[in-house]
Structure 1
Amino acid sequence: MTEKKIKNIFVQGAISADFIADSIAKHSSKTEIGGHSIFLGQVRADEIDEKQVAAIDYTAYEELALAQMHQIREDVFSKYPLSCMHVHHSLGVVNAGEICLFVFTSSKHRKPAMDACDELVERIKAELPIWGKEIFADASHQWKENK
């Protein structure tokens, strides 16, 4: 029995626009694909208790998160006729305005790609042991200097 390799979804720091663009560009040669769906999660500069969020520090129980993501991946591939599925989630500090989650699905037709992407995002948020701790503007400079 051949076991599929568990893919590492984690990226240190923010997910760059260049990485996202490169991922999209790599699919231009896959001419059987007719639709892509992309979700980008961005860190918001929320205000909490009159303090502004400057960044989020993401941590995870990585081994468990990767095992659970592997199962989610298998479930979604068995439910939708996808050509490709890519998931990348940040670890470490991601500043407000930067991308922390990139989910990219592809299929022969748009509807399965869109439905699968939506389900993936919801399951990632609900099921994976990934946490974000806010770093506030008044403390972010001090925190970054002590890093």
Structure 2
Amino acid sequence: MSEKKIKNIFINGAIDPVFIAKSIANHNSKTDIGGHSIFLGQIRKDEIEGKFVSAIEYTAFEELALTKMHEIREDIFSKYPLSCMHVHHSLGKINVGEICLFVFTSSKHRKPAIDACNELVERIKTELPIWGKEIFADNSYQWKENI
């Protein structure tokens, strides 16, 4: 594994749209970038067996998740010619309509940014030890399946 510092991807609570906007705006001065790809994961008000989801509470095995994310990050950087990669995932209770995942990739051209962003999202969902508990309006809950 590289000697690069392991980045903390976790944010307590929902990811604020202002934070997302500032992250995007910070790239105006990076004039070698020609394409960005952004994925925003938002909590849906799913109906399951007649009950509506009101929030998802995220927990993680943080140390393992951060180590694995570092490996994924290194792999993606070696596979695609990216200028930047940013990943932020919520922990705690995130209400319907709020953002819980923000993935942002940048490259000289659009295709590597798009392909890297798509692969990152898929690998985050399948490889990181992060769990979501769907909380219903009546305060009952069930563990969410990542699909």
TM-score under structure 1 normalisation? 0.93
Query: Unpaired runs of 5+ in structure 2?
Result: 141-147
Take 2:105 and 2:50, find their aligned partners in 1: how far apart are those partners? 38
Q: After the TM superposition, which residues 1-147 of structure 1 pair with which residues of structure 2 at under 5 Å, given as runs?
A: 3-139=3-139
Aligned length: 139
Query: Unpaired runs of 5+ in structure 1?
Result: 141-147
| Aligned CA-pair RMSD | 1.0
Query: Secondary structure at the residue paired with 2:139?
Result: helix
**Partner amino acid for 2:70?**
H
Deviation at 1:82, TM superposition (A): 0.1
**Partner amino acid for 2:8?**
N
- Deviations 1:74-113, CA, capped at 9 Å, x for gaps: 0000000000000000000000010000000000000000
**Partner amino acid for 2:139?**
A
Take 1:110 and 1:17, find their aligned partners in 2: how far apart are those partners? 23
Take 2:57 and 2:122, find their aligned partners in 1: how far apart are those partners? 21
**Partner amino acid for 1:51?**
K
Deviation at 1:48, TM superposition (A): 1.3
Take 1:74 and 1:9, find their aligned partners in 2: how far apart are those partners? 14
- Deviations 1:14-43, CA, capped at 9 Å, x for gaps: 001000000000000000000000000000
- Return structure 1 stretches of 4+ with deviation > 4 angstroms: none
TM-score under structure 2 normalisation? 0.93
Take 1:62 and 1:130, find their aligned partners in 2: how far apart are those partners? 8
**Partner amino acid for 2:85?**
M
**Partner amino acid for 1:18?**
V
